[in-house]
């Protein structure tokens, strides 16, 4: 048996990412396999808002949300999609001169929150750029009516498309705390209707929500595993300035996870999802001028090192406890 092989696996079963020496199926590995080299994401802001910001389902948005803190495209004046692609690609090419293919990533707010015709026009502008080889769209599970899914399916036929549903947790009491404005059932319904339409589905999850125990977080992992989505994006709860969460942290009403606890909970989570699932992200980061805490979020390299070290010490992998 090779050192990367689990007891029940035959050599042919060992996932390619494990054979390559990885402990989880990172999105970087997945994209290199799919495109035969590096591709990078360009964050795009199409000017959407959210139904829990504009009063449709709630007001004020999620307690932790400041779109500018996690979307570079919302920190600058908004231009056309084509203009944002030109600027974003030029910036990335100064840093990574060899990179010549890009993912148009509709990142801030709810990027399917509009009439189908308008969505079609916006997405078409992105995929018609000659250097765009894929598109990623972040949205909420309660904002994908069937006519919107039809548009997404159309674009899945034109490019490699990944659609990210913000789930955060399967526990409705936590969703209510964060003022999410939808329940876990909305996610289940969206995934059921979106599956089989030719695009990848990713679930966004937050670990360390107030009141959630280790068992609660593992219940979310098991539900994600059973949902058969294609990918998962995981990070810890972190607070940025000017949000209700920042106030709750300052008042001592919410405690944010320490790095060590997060690393081990993350690995416990990854052990329970299938080896085939793409892991889009394993940590939360915000620019220093936005971040309230935890401070360890500022050191992404150290977090990666700690995750790798813990995987080695525990001698474990993504999917090890997946049955
Ligand atoms: S749904 Fe997303 S963009 Fe909208 S308020 Fe919540 S976190 Fe922010």
Q: Name the residue with higher pLDDT: 75 or 199.
A: 199
The pLDDT > 70 percentage for the chain reads: 93
How confident is the model over 54-78, as a mean pLDDT? 81
Question: Is 186 a pocket residue for ligand 1 (Cβ < 6 Å)?
Answer: no
The pLDDT > 90 percentage for the chain reads: 89
pLDDT tens, residue by residue, 238-265: 999 999 999 999 999 999 999 999 999 9
Of 144, 101, 105, the residue nearest 122 (C-alpha): 105
pLDDT tens, residue by residue, 186-240: 999 999 999 999 999 999 999 999 999 999 999 999 999 999 899 999 999 999 9
Q: Is residue 322 part of a domain?
A: no
Report d(CA 279, CA 237) in Å as an integer: 17
- CA 242, 244, 247, 249 torsion-angle sign: negative
pLDDT tens, residue by residue, 105-152: 999 999 999 999 999 999 999 999 999 999 999 999 999 999 999 999
Question: Is 138 a pocket residue for ligand 1 (Cβ < 6 Å)?
Answer: no
pTM exceeds 0.85: yes
How confident is the model over 68-95, as a mean pLDDT? 85
Q: What is the pLDDT of residue 323?
A: 81
* Cβ–Cβ under 8 Å, residues 100 and 42: no
Number of domains in the chain: 1
Q: Is residue 214 part of a domain?
A: yes
pLDDT tens, residue by residue, 264-308: 999 999 999 999 999 999 999 889 999 999 999 999 999 999 999
Question: Is 112 a pocket residue for ligand 1 (Cβ < 6 Å)?
Answer: no
Question: Is 62 a pocket residue for ligand 1 (Cβ < 6 Å)?
Answer: yes
Q: Is residue 319 part of a domain?
A: no
Question: Is 61 a pocket residue for ligand 1 (Cβ < 6 Å)?
Answer: yes
Q: What is the pLDDT of residue 228?
A: 81
Residue nearest to atom 6 of ligand 1 (CA): 62
Q: Is residue 290 part of a domain?
A: yes
How confident is the model over 29-54, as a mean pLDDT? 94
In ligand 1, which atom is closest to the CA atom of 138?
A: 2
pLDDT tens, residue by residue, 308-317: 999 999 999 9
Q: What is the pLDDT of residue 36?
A: 92
227 phi and psi, to 5 degrees? -70, -15
* Cβ–Cβ under 8 Å, residues 296 and 303: yes
Res. 78 pLDDT band, cuts 50 70 90? confident
In ligand 1, which atom is closest to the CA atom of 110?
A: 3
- The CATH number of whichever domain residue 26 belongs to comes to 3.20.20.70
- CB contact burial 58-71 (16+ within 10 A = b; e otherwise): beebbbbbbbbbbb
Residue 192's domain comprises 11-314
Pocket test for ligand 1, best of 43, 47, 49, 50 (most atoms within 8 A of CB): 50
Is residue 6 over pLDDT 80? no
Q: Is residue 86 part of a domain?
A: yes
Report d(CA 60, CA 48) in Å as an integer: 15
Cα 52 to ligand 1 centre (Å):
7
* Cβ–Cβ under 8 Å, residues 254 and 63: no
Res. 11 pLDDT band, cuts 50 70 90? low
Q: Is residue 45 part of a domain?
A: yes
Query: CB atoms < 10 A from the CB of 142, how many?
Result: 23
Report d(CA 135, CA 4) in Å as an integer: 33
Is residue 4 over pLDDT 60? no
**Tokens standing for 190?**
């969206």
Residue nearest to atom 5 of ligand 1 (CA): 61
Q: Is residue 243 part of a domain?
A: yes
Cα 177 to ligand 1 centre (Å):
14
Q: What is the pLDDT of residue 74?
A: 61
Q: Is residue 321 part of a domain?
A: no
Average pLDDT, the chain: 93
Res. 12 pLDDT band, cuts 50 70 90? low
């Amino acid at each position: 048996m090779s050192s990367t092989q689990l007891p029940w696996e035959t050599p042919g079963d060992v996932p390619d990412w494990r054979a390559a020496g990885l402990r989880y199926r990172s999105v970087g590995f997945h994209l290199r396999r799919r495109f035969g080299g590096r591709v990078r994401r360009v964050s795009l802001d199409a000017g959407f808002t959210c139904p829990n910001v504009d009063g449709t389902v709630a007001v004020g948005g999620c307690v932790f949300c400041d779109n500018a803190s996690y979307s570079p495209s919302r920190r600058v004046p908004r231009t056309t999609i084509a203009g944002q692609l030109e600027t974003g690609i030029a910036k990335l090419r100064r840093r990574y001169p060899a990179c010549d293919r890009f993912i148009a990533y509709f990142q801030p707010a709810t990027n399917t929150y509009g009439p189908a015709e308008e969505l079609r026009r916006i997405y078409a502008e992105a995929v018609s750029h000659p250097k765009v080889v894929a598109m990623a769209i972040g949205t909420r599970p309660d904002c994908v009516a069937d006519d919107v899914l039809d548009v997404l399916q159309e674009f899945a036929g034109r490019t490699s498309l990944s659609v990210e549903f913000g789930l955060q947790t399967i526990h409705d009491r936590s969703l209510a705390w964060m003022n999410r404005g939808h329940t876990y059932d909305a996610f289940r319904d969206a995934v059921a209707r979106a599956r089989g339409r030719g695009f990848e589905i990713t679930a966004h999850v937050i670990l360390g929500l107030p009141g959630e125990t280790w068992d609660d977080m593992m219940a979310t992992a098991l539900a994600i595993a059973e949902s058969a989505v294609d990918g998962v994006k995981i990070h810890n709860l972190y607070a940025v300035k000017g949000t209700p969460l920042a106030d709750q942290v300052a008042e001592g009403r919410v405690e944010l996870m320490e790095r060590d606890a997060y690393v081990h909970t993350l690995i416990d989570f990854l052990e329970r999802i299938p080896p085939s699932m793409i892991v889009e992200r394993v940590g939360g980061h915000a620019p220093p001028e936005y971040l309230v805490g935890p401070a360890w979020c500022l050191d992404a390299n150290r977090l990666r090192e700690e995750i790798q070290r813990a995987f080695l010490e525990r001698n474990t992998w993504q999917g090890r406890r997946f049955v």
